[in-house]
Structure 1
Amino acid sequence: MADFGFNEHHQNEIINYMRFARSQRLLRLKIIDSCFEELKDSRLVEETFTVDEVKEMLDGVHAVVRGEVEMELINTAHTNVVLLRQLFSQAEKFYLRLQSDISELENRELLEQVAEFEKTDFKTTNKTNQETHKPKLAPLNEGGVSELLNKEIARLQEENDKLKSRLRTLESQAMSVLDEKTKAERALKDLQRTQGDQQLSAQTKEISSLENTVAALKEDYERSLSANAATKKDLQENLITAKHELLRVQEQLSLAEKELEKKFQQTAAYRNMKEILTKKNEQIKEIRKRLQKYEPDD
């Protein structure tokens, strides 16, 4: 069998088209033969004809034959366009762009190769089977560009599925980190609240003690004032001194509170908690960057 560079399926498609073209050609030839037979039967009944009669008969046959040939050429061109339409429609479904070289249609070597193929390898059997079975165009699944395209589509789908799975994993990690951060912040607030309550309790006790002292001094002062007016000046000085002492103690308490807070910030628990929060914030920033890589904001 002549080799056109096609696989078996496409070779059979060419054979089917050549069968169709030959049947159309034979039909037109039969019509032309019938035109001449009709001329012989209807006009060639006399033994002699004049020049004008012969010319008239030839003109008539010429018109009929010319019309049949023209109709066959037009029908062949339209048939080829319909065939190309089927091929292009099938190619566009797979996003292919077919190209044709019109100059190759007059390539004598290729035309002779097709003629040789028709003479030696073109089979005319199984006409009945061909009439009853009209295969439709099937997708090109036997290698070539279509196979590469299908493989690329499958690869892209697989990669897309992997990216979706990766994205879901990152989202899960982000939610886990956010939960851990929330727990760490809650623990830090509880720790700060506990330390603050302890400091406030100590300060309240000391202030209460000082207030009791001031109240006792004031009571003594009033009692002494009522008992002995002479000691009024001394008691007033003691009261002023006590007030100054109270202010001094309050200032010391404030300094002690600041120092206590500073010491608390230097404790291992505070540093560990702060380090955990810092790491969690860095993890959240990294995950946000990775998320923006797969789903950038509009």
Structure 2
Amino acid sequence: MAELGLNEHHQNEVINYMRFARSKRGLRLKTVDSCFQDLKDSRLTEDTFTVDEVTEMLDGLRVVVHSEVESELINTAYTNVLLLRQLFCQAEKWYLKLQTDISDLENRELLEQVAEFEKAEFTSGKKANSEIGKPKLAPLNEGVSELLSKEITRLQDENDKLKARLKTIESQATSALDEKFKLERVLKDLEKVQGDQEPKLKTQEVTDLEETVAALKADFEKTLNMSTENQKSLQDNLISTKHDLLKIQEHLSLAEKELDKKFQETAAYRNMKEILTKKNDQVKELRKRLSKYEAED
């Protein structure tokens, strides 16, 4: 038996459609035959006909047959569209996108294969699927369909998020590449300037210099931090020392006053003060006398 390369279920569906098409084709052929029979019964009643009469009969027959054939071709095309609509509707419920290849519809080899398949199925006398009748599309399991719909929606949302993230990453990558190109141009310019002034440093030497500069920078920062801490400590010590000095000066002033007070209260101080007072009086008296002598002279 000829095969169409389909599974058993789909092949049975094809057989059912071919049975439907054969029945419709048979009805139309009977209609065409009846057109010729009607012509025979209604017009061919005489023994001889003129050329004009034959031409008129053939033209009338042509019009009737043309109308019947055209009607059948149109009906077949519309029927095929309805069949495709059923298949596409079922596929869309499962989020599938079917495609058709119109060029295969005129493939002589495939058409002959279909003819052999029809001949094998309908002329071998088998009655396996003769009582199946008009099949309907199998109903979808609503629970499974709902779960699949949710999962597909979730995957679509995740896909949209991934697309947005991809655009962001692409933008960042583009910016990074632009920055890289700018740095490369700057580096080339610097290397060109260095090449005019002095030999270009080797990569290892540049690495060593960078490590040395980094170490010096770290030491400088460490020393700077230590210097800052020492300066703060010295400043705190200086403030404390100033406070202590002020306290000592205050104590010395008080002690000096106290000592002066105590010295003034001693007998020696009083005697010395009395002697100095007497001496001052004697000096004043001597100055008066001397001034008198100087006036007489």
TM range (shorter): 0.3 to 0.5
TM-score after normalising by structure 2:
0.45
Larger Cα-atom Rg = 2
TM-score after normalising by structure 1:
0.45
